[in-house]
Structure 1
């Protein structure tokens, strides 16, 4: 299917989830992530803050888990036409932007070229790691600026059942996909 068709289909599927279903599925994704990756103190995690109205996976358990274990947490913030990465702590002050996304008030870009884990929002990912987001290109831009050791991890409610037909030259695939039922590796050799 084409990205536009997949975007529409999976947005509808996500909106059809009840609040309770979304909560339980988010919890299962979180449990699969921590069991598989087991992030350690001193490592760094770049993670999105969900858009509630789009019923994105709840990442607050990920953030709480990391902060309570000495894992550095960075979140995206849109600054004009680019996305910066802001480090947060338990004391960070947040405000809701015009898209309804909670962001740190700080505009201080961490300027990192490496994160141990980049937990990425998406509407859909296929079984090759290609993803469908909201079409703004922020994460492709972030991915292209990072070192090759950064693990690009998509989290999604749904398994990759359909192929994305219109993958573009500048699309950067995920390394992993975490769903409520499994963790898939797209690295050569299936690490």
Structure 2
């Protein structure tokens, strides 16, 4: 399928989730996330969800990481829509967050993180068996991940699809994708 069709389909699927199903799927995502190996992880970049759009609730992951791995630095993004680039900030708590014009929570007074996170949780609407993903189409994460060595892990409320037909040269492949039913690993190309 084409990205535009997959995007429409995934957004429709998300809108149709009732509160109970959405909560169950997020709890299953967290359960799968807990099985990852954190022994060498010093920092994790976590996207912040637009909960009104039924995006995976990464606040559950942040809360769990803070309780279980307090030494791991949690890094969150702030987007510059003029340049389509993102900056990373140390997570300073939910009170520091304010929704931007697209309803994405962003840090306000947090400290800039200038390192490379050991793991990046990547937002997506759909993903295929090769590790390619469909996002909202602005390319923020493809640019962000372009020149860094890190674990790239998608979070999806839905299962893998066969193939995205219009993958571009600049599309960055995931290493893994967590779904409510398991973790899909992708072979190196």
What TM-score, normalized by structure 2, do the two folds share? 0.91
2:142 maps to 1:143: no
Equivalent in the alignment of 1:66: 65
Structure 2 residues not aligned, in runs of 5+: none
Conserved 8 A contact 2:126-2:161: no
CA-CA distance at 1:130 after TM superposition? 0.4
CA distance in 2, matches of 1:175, 1:91: 29
Conserved 8 A contact 2:79-2:87: yes
Equivalent in the alignment of 1:55: 54
Query: Cα–Cα, structure 1 residues 143 and 17, in superposed 2: closer, same or farther, change >3 Å?
Result: same
Pick from 130, 133, 146 the counterpart of residue 132 of structure 2: 130
Conserved 8 A contact 2:98-2:108: yes
CA distance in 1, matches of 2:95, 2:42: 19
Equivalent in the alignment of 2:181: 181
| More displaced 10-residue stretch of structure 1: 83-92 or 162-171 | 83-92
Q: Which ranges of 4 or more aligned residues in structure 1 deviate by more than 6 Å?
A: none
Taking the TM superposition and a 5 Å limit, the aligned residue runs for 1:151-162 are 151-162=151-162
Map Cα deviations across residues 26-75 of structure 1 (whole Å, 9 max, x no partner): 1101110111x142486211001101221101111111122222211001
What value does the CA root-mean-square deviation take over the aligned residues? 1.8
| More displaced 10-residue stretch of structure 1: 100-109 or 45-54 | 100-109
Conserved 8 A contact 1:66-1:72: no
What TM-score, normalized by structure 1, do the two folds share? 0.90
CA distance in 1, matches of 2:151, 2:129: 17
Instruction: Give secondary structure in 1 for the equivalent of 2:34.
Output: helix
Map Cα deviations across residues 73-103 of structure 1 (whole Å, 9 max, x no partner): 0011013421111111347611111111111
CA-CA distance at 1:132 after TM superposition? 0.1
| More displaced 10-residue stretch of structure 1: 82-91 or 9-18 | 82-91
2:90 maps to 1:87: yes
CA distance in 2, matches of 1:72, 1:3: 33
Q: How many residues are paired up? A: 185
